[in-house]
Chain A
Amino acid sequence: MTAKINRMKADERGFYGEFGGAFIPEMLHKNIQDLQERYEGIVSQESFQKRFKDLLKTYSGRPTPLTYAASISEELGANVYLKREDLNHTGAHKINNAIGQALLAMEMGKTRIIAETGAGQHGVATATVCALLDLECIVYMGSKDIERQSPNVRRMKMLGAEVRAVYSGSQTLKDATNEAIRDWINHPESTHYLIGSTVGPHPYPEMVAAFQSIISEETLKQLGEIKADSVIACVGGGSNAAGAFFHFVEDESVELIAVEASGYGLETDKTAASATLGTAGILHGSKTLLLQTKDGQIEEAHSISAGLDYPGIGPMHAHLVKSDRVKIMTATDTEALEAAKWMARKEGIIPALETAHAIAALKKITFKPNQNIVLCLSGRGDKDMQTYAQYLDNE
């Protein structure tokens, strides 16, 4: 078989169709150029791959299982398989990328790691890996998210990371990312910016997608003779979706569905549905679909889920959506809460609020009989118990 182009990879200019690029101030030019020039060489080394795969296996517990969700499948009249990223060490897919980038940072001689986090899962994964590899770790987190995801803040501190609260702008993921970028501008030599999703300047989106591609690599193997008809994942910046889609994207017979958060609803201004409602613009170093004003001011997103509360989407997803390869669906705050309860009661799995959006989409799709669906169960809901408890109390 000839090697096909994978649409998860950028072209030689760092673009996915019209989206992507590296729109960064000159202060970051050297760091980004170093990454662009060196990361593929480092990552493709046998010794790197061995170390990476070894940690995924012996530290994070991969391969994660593919669970047949019997009750849900029966109710929907379809076959639903759950790719159990919640069973990773630290409870979400985020650790796949954190391990990969931390190893890369060490190869590049960096000693200080900075990260942004929304739900705190990427922050926890980064803090964990930094503890393991003895790297200094600073995590930027919006002050709103510090409040709503407090269990993860405590975990990061326990792991020895410094959590810096961000009070500017939206006080959520967008502004945590701004602060992390500013930190990098001020510490270009020592520091690697460990971005947690398929966002940011090239080569970050394709690099994060490559580290997350283990999700679909395992899924394909685990499915064996079973042919996937649809793959569904929630999308904030798009890393679990990129990982879940990666090895399916060039097989047009597989339907790919990304579910974004519509917050209070698409017709309101409290939403995070950037692929559905957004327009092309530049945020965090790449051109993508954004919620913005006609003046180009980035608007605040809203989602009950801190990990999806972001006014943009990764550039590769913007391209896959605009070129009709990926179908976009949305789920509201309430639909996500309802879906989390449904999953918990039917399958005995409490999903993360982010993941709950993907689960909510299951209820909106009309399935063919015996359609095979893979749902990326990106994370577990321990961090969201306060929100879930409130929801149950108010019912």
Chain B
Amino acid sequence: MNKLLNIYFTAGYPDINATAQIVLDLQKSGVDMIEIGLPYSDPLADGPSIQASGQKALDNGMNTDLLFEQLTSIKDQIKIPVYLMGYYNQWYQYGLETFCNKCKEVGIEGLIMPDLPLGYFDEKHKNILQENDLKICFLITPDTAEDRIEEIGKCSTGFVYIVSNSSTTGKKEDISQHQIAYFERIKSYKFNSKKLIGFGIHDNQTFAKACEYADGAIIGSAFVNHIKEDYSFENIERFVSGVRSGVEV
């Protein structure tokens, strides 16, 4: 079965108008899914690379309305699922409903909101998402208890986001035995949605390893670092094929 490659990047980085082009070039390079980060002033779950990209994007003038505008312009060309990752205050301030209407309008597949935990995700959120055909993805970590894993699996209508390690995003380390044991454990759960491993996946080796235990993996910081100086199609494709090399598809 095809292993899914999901690439994260920050909207409005490195240039304010780069967003649409990066989406299309990632798609052309053969990634399976895209996660667009809505830059935020206080990204608690993110390490230095994504923090810095968000700060730069905000300095560039990126904002929620502008992202929706940029996505509108390429909406008919997007053929793969595009998820929006942000922090709950961004959704909340825009208006829970208005935000979702907009997402639907521009063809967003679903949302990832790391600081909206299961306990506060209620019927209201659920209905608004459903009415707008939007999915949601919750996170599982090495410390998530068994019954909670089941619950998260049930509520995640997009994919289940398996955080590879107890860490913020962007740690560049090999995958440890400890992590493998955790991946094995998660592998035994049956969810309706796909399982993707993210956080710290940064090259073909870590991608391949993660793919042994899940339906695919997510790469964020490493890609964001890669396009810092050069977000041409050639450079994006180089990254994607590099990550894919060595992984059977």
Contacts and interface: CB of A to CB of B under 8 A. Distances in A.
Contacts of A168: 51, 55
B166 A186 contact: yes
B92 A27 contact: no
Contact of B167 (A169, A186, A189, A283): A186
Contacts of B40: 296-297
B44 A297 contact: no
B168 A182 contact: yes
Contacts of B120: 21, 23
A26 interface: yes
A29 B143 contact: yes
Contact of A29 (B41, B88, B141): B141
A30 B115 CA distance: 14
B94 A295 contact: yes
A283 B89 CA distance: 8
Contact of B58 (A24, A27, A30, A297): A297
B129 to A, nearest CB: 18
Contacts of B44: 24-25, 178, 181-182, 185, 284
Interface in A21-45: 21-27, 29-30
B140 A26 contact: yes
Nearest to B58: A297
B117 A30 contact: no
Contact of B90 (A30, A181, A295): A295
A106 B119 CA distance: 28
Contacts of A23: 88, 115-117, 120
Contact of B144 (A30, A182, A185): A30
A296 B115 contact: no
Given A169-B55, A283-B89, A26 B41 contact: no
B206 interface: no
Interface in B43-99: 44-45, 47, 51, 55, 58, 63-64, 87-94
A25 B42 contact: no
B93 A296 contact: yes
B224 interface: no
Interface in B113-146: 114-117, 119-120, 138-141, 143-145
A143 B61 CA distance: 25
A297 B92 CA distance: 11
Nearest to A299: B41
Nearest to A26: B139
A181 B168 CA distance: 10
Contacts of B166: 27, 185-189
A25 to B, nearest CB: 4
Contact of A282 (B51, B89, B163, B168): B89
Interface string B24-51: 0000000000000000111011010001
Contacts, number: 105
Contact of A185 (B42, B45, B92): B45
Contacts of B148: 29
A117 B72 CA distance: 44
Interface string B169-199: 0000000000000000000000000000000
A281 B88 CA distance: 9
A24 B138 CA distance: 12
Nearest to A13: B119
A174 interface: yes
Nearest to A14: B119
A25 B115 contact: yes
Nearest to A181: B44
Q: Which of A21, A169, A292, A296 has the most CB of B within 10 A?
A: A296
Interface centre among A178, A285, A292, A297 (most CB of B within 10 A): A297
Contacts of B152: 26
A182 B136 CA distance: 24
A189 B165 CA distance: 13
Nearest to B65: A295
Contact of B168 (A24, A30, A185, A189): A185
A297 B117 contact: no
Contacts of B139: 25-27
Contacts of B89: 281-283, 292, 296, 298
B92 A169 contact: no
A185 to B, nearest CB: 5
Interface in B155-169: 163, 166-168
Nearest to A30: B143
A27 B90 contact: no
Contacts of B55: 168-169
A283 B42 contact: yes
A174 B114 CA distance: 19
Contacts of B116: 23
B41 A24 contact: no
Interface string A344-365: 0000000000000000000000
Nearest to A300: B41
Nearest to B114: A25
17 contacts: A23-B116, A23-B117, A24-B115, A25-B139, A26-B114, A27-B143, A169-B41, A169-B55, A178-B42, A178-B44, A181-B44, A185-B45, A188-B143, A189-B166, A296-B40, A296-B92, A297-B90
Interface of B: 40-42, 44-45, 47, 51, 55, 58, 63-64, 87-94, 114-117, 119-120, 138-141, 143-145, 148, 152, 163, 166-168
Given A178-B44, A282-B115, 12 more contacts: A22-B117, A22-B119, A23-B115, A24-B115, A25-B117, A26-B138, A26-B144, A27-B45, A27-B168, A295-B63, A296-B40, A297-B58
Across the A-B interface, the 6 shortest Cβ-Cβ residue pairs: A296-B93, A26-B139, A30-B143, A296-B89, A297-B41, A282-B89
